[in-house]
Chains A and B, each alone.
Chain A
């Protein structure tokens, strides 16, 4: 056995806290170590060449690299040693950057820790065995979950590459939050005008199968072969027959709040979300309808000329297979109910940014006149409060939602265009205009439209007669200020949508501390997730504006196509395996496995039938939970065998 140990300085990233030379010298003293070297950047070509040369000249049969996290460069070094004929799975990485130098500052102790970690890896390395690469076939079809602008764009781009894609949307129409916006920054394009062509294209593209009013209930399988169950809720209106004549609406006796208009206007139990909705068909909401029962009420059915209404529709479970999945489940806005100092939603003329979009939209509840919710009066002065519940780790969202400075500026500008003699005041903490043409847009709002910007946060809103008393501060003049407003708009931030939370639990995706889906790498793998073959686009990973969302959707589409374009792909080799002789069939592993990869099967032993655990190699993700849970040591994981782990522990225990 000849092991080579290669210690990386990573510039000063490692060498500042770890005395690399000492680690190298120490490694030389360890059993089976035939070479031990240091290099400034081991991942660079010369570093890799160093390893390759040693493998050839010193006839190494195992390689250990002490450097950064295996998440960074394991593939690099595996490829390097494979190039020289070694089995890539015999590579061992010691993480002395993220687990040593970056988290400690005492060089002496850091060096000691690095030495112990190297020692434990040398012990393990000696016991490592070559593993085979595994390959599986691929379904040439993608699934996109969520049909806001992110999902729409991803679906269009996958379809545009010539692949079949299924687009699942929870609500009755695609379009998402963007369909609710009146205009978009920084160009003031009409949101519907730029979105609806894409929506129409989704409806028309033969490569896209749209399933609206549906949710993904279950996902099994693995990259290249996801088995998905989609529950399609009954629409009670046959899409193909509905001519959108609107005859059913006037006769419906049920009046409820219209979600599309942020509950600021009424709608009926039978309705269409908005005029440009796709699928272009009405829908009956069973929670609103008197009973989906002709004996109780069948007024809509009676007047429907094309006989499109079908009370007997049942929920449908659609099962299908996909090679890759794109999650585009979007966002919600921070609930106004959490903002006690701003009235908790109890002051009618204190509204959210999204409500303002609907109020000022010609298609909205006040047909574009901007009448306020309380008394329908025209609005003369508006106050916009930035960071309403954002940048507030004490009680609300700790992060900046990125788009609010711009959307409040846009809304102030729209208001000034609508009400020329009106006043629009923005209370801000910092103005963030990090986007193409954003700064110019902000300057234009102040210069041309005389939108007022006051630097300071508002502490309290009080209903005072028919006005709202705004108690704020002007930190630039160093004064506390008060003013009366007809309408106050809270720039509430972005939070993960319920759909994002739901799909994360169905797919078992990792979430960040704020509840957004975690990217595989925040910079270099922004649309990849913890699960191979599942990608994510748009606000499901955090706040984004439209251009960023669209670009991300494009990248997610390309990454999905990378998979579904192949005939077969490689899967995890470090999976669990069962020693049937030791297995007692207790089934603890079955319950422990988060991927449902283990089942109990019958096996014949000494003429009797016994239950033993069996691992589905394609489903196993190599997490090791079963191996840790098994009471009899019957399950082991390739690449992480008990004997290897125990050798490491023993090494760490010795001085």
Chain B
């Protein structure tokens, strides 16, 4: 885990530009100040900090990005987006990583069976929100 070989081949470049395309953000605006991670309410549950993820996207490290739970823990509260000094919509980048997985590697996502009782109790807004963020719907 503490060695990596860096190269910028087609796979790397394609991943970076796909994330840029889906999110509409310039990933290379990130200068790694870390303010996104610092203000994130969920960072304690993330396997990688957000700025770490941003750096990996810059380097095109698809496997490492997708393996981490960071983008799934993100709740789209947009605190990172409103505080980013480089005007990057960081939450949109997280969304793009989710979308990337849903579009191109849906088989990697675990299917959930939600109990009937829960479905009745939980507000629609949460159900629809969750499906939108975490499923191919």
State yes or no: do A and B touch (Cβ within 8 Å).
yes
**Residues of chain A having any CB pair with chain B under 8 Å:** 341, 387, 391-396, 429, 455-460, 471-475, 478-481
Which chain A residue shows the least CB distance to B37? A473
Q: A429-B33, A473-B34, A473-B43 are in contact. List 11 more A-B contacts (CB 8 A).
A: A392-B86, A456-B33, A456-B38, A458-B38, A459-B35, A459-B39, A472-B34, A472-B38, A473-B49, A478-B49, A480-B40
Q: Is the interface of A mostly helix, strand, loop or mixed?
A: loop
* B86 surroundings in chain A (CB, below 8 A): 392-394
The answer to whether B38 and A396 have CB atoms under 8 Å apart is no
Given known contacts A457-B33, A478-B48, A480-B44, is B38 in contact with A473 (CB within 8 Å)? yes
Q: In whole Å, how far is A588's beta carbon from the nearest beta carbon of chain B?
A: 43
Interface string of B54-87 (1 = CB under 8 A from A): 0000000000000000000000000100011111
* B38 surroundings in chain A (CB, below 8 A): 456-460, 471-473, 480-481
The answer to whether B33 and A395 have CB atoms under 8 Å apart is no
Which chain B residue shows the least CB distance to A397? B85
Is B52 an interface residue, CB under 8 A from the partner? yes
**Residues of chain B having any CB pair with chain A under 8 Å:** 31-40, 43-44, 48-49, 51-52, 79, 83-87
Tell me the bound Cα distance from A434 to B44 in angstroms: 36
The answer to whether B33 and A387 have CB atoms under 8 Å apart is yes
The answer to whether B39 and A429 have CB atoms under 8 Å apart is no
* B84 surroundings in chain A (CB, below 8 A): 394
Q: In whole Å, how far is A472's beta carbon from the nearest beta carbon of chain B?
A: 5
Q: Could you name 16 residue pairs across A and B whose Cβ atoms are closer than 8 Å? A: A341-B83, A393-B87, A394-B85, A429-B31, A429-B33, A429-B34, A455-B34, A459-B36, A460-B39, A475-B34, A475-B37, A475-B51, A478-B48, A478-B52, A480-B37, A481-B38
The answer to whether B39 and A392 have CB atoms under 8 Å apart is no
* B85 surroundings in chain A (CB, below 8 A): 387, 391-396, 457
Which chain B residue shows the least CB distance to A390? B85
Q: In whole Å, how far is A469's beta carbon from the nearest beta carbon of chain B?
A: 12
Given known contacts A391-B85, A394-B84, A459-B83, is B39 in contact with A471 (CB within 8 Å)? yes
Tell me the bound Cα distance from A459 to B41 in angstroms: 11
* B34 surroundings in chain A (CB, below 8 A): 429, 455-457, 472-475
- Cβ-defined partner of B35 (8 Å) among A457, A474, A479, A481: A457
Q: In whole Å, how far is A177's beta carbon from the nearest beta carbon of chain B?
A: 25
* A392 surroundings in chain B (CB, below 8 A): 85-86
Tell me the bound Cα distance from A526 to B85 in angstroms: 29
The answer to whether B51 and A473 have CB atoms under 8 Å apart is yes
Tell me the bound Cα distance from A480 to B36 in angstroms: 10
Which chain B residue shows the least CB distance to A470? B38
* A471 surroundings in chain B (CB, below 8 A): 38-39
* B40 surroundings in chain A (CB, below 8 A): 459, 480
Interface centre among A341, A387, A391, A394 (most CB of B within 10 A): A394
Which chain A residue shows the least CB distance to B40? A480
The answer to whether A479 and B31 have CB atoms under 8 Å apart is no
Tell me the bound Cα distance from A471 to B51 in angstroms: 15
What are the 6 tightest A-B residue pairs by CB atom distance, in nearest-first order?
A459-B39, A392-B85, A459-B38, A473-B34, A456-B34, A480-B43
* B33 surroundings in chain A (CB, below 8 A): 387, 391, 429, 456-457, 475
Tell me the bound Cα distance from A458 to B85 in angstroms: 12
Interface centre among B31, B35, B44 (most CB of A within 10 A): B35
* B35 surroundings in chain A (CB, below 8 A): 456-459, 473
Tell me the bound Cα distance from A245 to B84 in angstroms: 54
Q: In whole Å, how far is A385's beta carbon from the nearest beta carbon of chain B?
A: 11
* B37 surroundings in chain A (CB, below 8 A): 456, 473, 475, 480
Which chain B residue shows the least CB distance to A386? B33
* A341 surroundings in chain B (CB, below 8 A): 39, 83
* A460 surroundings in chain B (CB, below 8 A): 38-39
Which chain A residue shows the least CB distance to B47? A478
* B48 surroundings in chain A (CB, below 8 A): 478
